[in-house]
Structure 1
């Protein structure tokens, strides 16, 4: 991916330098030198088109790049070097933006994957604390609450654990693991909170490997098919037929060149990469993972969407406002009541549980660690 990006970047700047340099020489009345500069600036695009078309033909694919090739080659043959240089810059711009889209997609996907999870709950000197992933070591005792992602590979030390491994294996049904069974990071706790012992650091665990797989998929992904390529089988012959008719009727080959230049889909060459870059970048800013332009095209045809609301559509954070007492709770004060409730809520991943624990920690309360906790989702 990096090599394609650097190649596209070099092609764009070379073609742009040829266009601008020729323009400066033309204004300085060095007309012949300007024409030569425009011609030199368009040759790399011509070579890139030849390579791309040959590669497409070997894959038995058709594309409208052949029109851009004919446009540049025809313009150079008819001594219309400025026309060739302009088309070359348009083509190079499209390839640069396609490379930028691919590079941006890989970077944003890796960043999003690395941000989840950000920390884990670990026992330190008998106290349950939240630590960053980089602090997890083999042998650490971890608590994984309901709904949390397992941060590191390890083995369960609880009687049983119910794990959702769909993100790793595609298996939709949760899998139950018994004490001593190995667990893989990246899977989700679909049952009650359980404890485990890490057997590897987060960086060397399965979840970290997901990022590497994503990067490999980005490198091996075929280039996105542009909109005009879908109609190349009839569009290219039609355009060449109209160009030939224009030449035949007028007797002027420049008329044929004009038709081919107009038929060259420079707006489409630019429009699709720009749209992909903008969409992927905007989605990434909002925390939405998009693998590429193909997913966006599929989304455009979607008519019905179903979401799990909590954590997906809602972005607020609950917080404790006040403590309402019942008659049975009058025997203890508000501080002790909050400490007991927060001690139990440590074992839950629910957003309200997090609000209760946060309120207790804000008051510097010492929380206990409950045992035999069972959570029934409603």
Structure 2
């Protein structure tokens, strides 16, 4: 087509007039990616820099919550039961029945992990008057969740829905 021929002619003209322009473009991407990496910003490639051109909104995390993983727990809201079957009746389940008990169980289970949400729960439990919880066994599945036997009851704390459906 006429447009394709025009593009080839324009590229031919650029190569003849200034071959350095096309040779230096990849170097500019490499320099930008390297500069970002030195400042702690990891980019997958030059296409990320190109995508910034169409970006309309940028969110900055001035508190560091997202960038440093410094999460905090604001409240505990335990579930007192669950719907069973099609009759939608709420039945009691094995979930702790008060905020303090729920926090005690979660803090006991998460004490040995490094997960940011788990750490936030443990930090939230410090200094609170919580019931004593004993963890008899513990198994951690990095990136998926954990199971533990707490006060002779098996408890599962799951982080990913995909993992829940695979059990």
User: Normalised by the size of structure 1, how large is the TM-score?
Assistant: 0.19
Name the structure with the higher helix share. 1
- Higher relative contact order (Cα pairs below 8 Å, separated by 6+ residues): 1
User: Normalised by the size of structure 2, how large is the TM-score?
Assistant: 0.36
